[in-house]
Amino acid sequence: MIILGIDPGYAIVGYGVIEKTATNKLKVIDYGAINTPKDEDFPVRLAMIQDGMKALISKFKPDAIAVEELFFNQNITTGIAVAEARGVILCTAIQYVPKLFEFTPVQIKQSITGYGKAEKKQVQYMTKSILNLKETPKPDDAADALAVALCLAQTNTKLINSEITIYTNNNLKKNDISTLLKRKNKL
């Protein structure tokens, strides 16, 4: 199974692609970032993110996509822009890969380190260790995206292998493909 993990942003969208074999071995395929220039108009940046997502999906043909949910800090203006970028990411993902999962930062930290309030460096260290990497991936957004993918890889296999799955904050909703296609065709 190929899993694409995404760390959302509008300046930098981190991505990490891993493979989970039938024997539960994990292998890093690729990681990196979709970068958008800060001097570009925001709608153009969103279009660049969409194009980048389409290119990643086309290149790696993931069986499932995992996206980190937002965590708001003090700056609500930045949070809104990231939320808009995340919306583009989710919409693009579900159009091409019907297995879409979302995890909170606490869920990711718990999955990777065993402690939901772990520090970023602890998560990066464990991600590097679990995936047998020589160095911590750079940029940090790519390391975070690998952790998101790893979180899904360590999730219940029955959940991942269900027909059409949208997993959000511990709520599981199953839809058959015809329902999703009907919704898509009405747009």
- pLDDT class for 61, splitting at 50, 70, 90? very high
Spell out the domain ranges in the chain: 2-186
What's the rounded Cα separation, in Å, for the pair 91 and 104? 18
What's the rounded Cα separation, in Å, for the pair 4 and 18? 7
What's the rounded Cα separation, in Å, for the pair 167 and 7? 16
What's the rounded Cα separation, in Å, for the pair 5 and 2? 10
Known catalytic membership, residue 68: yes
> What pLDDT, in 10s, does the model give residues 106-165?
999 999 999 999 999 999 999 999 999 999 999 999 999 999 999 999 986 666 665 545
Known catalytic membership, residue 176: no
Known catalytic membership, residue 51: no
Which of the following is catalytic: 41, 63, 141, 144?
Answer: 141
What's the rounded Cα separation, in Å, for the pair 152 and 131? 14
Which of the following is catalytic: 41, 51, 68, 163?
Answer: 68
And the tokens for 48?
A: 């660049």
CATH of domain 2-186: 3.30.420.10
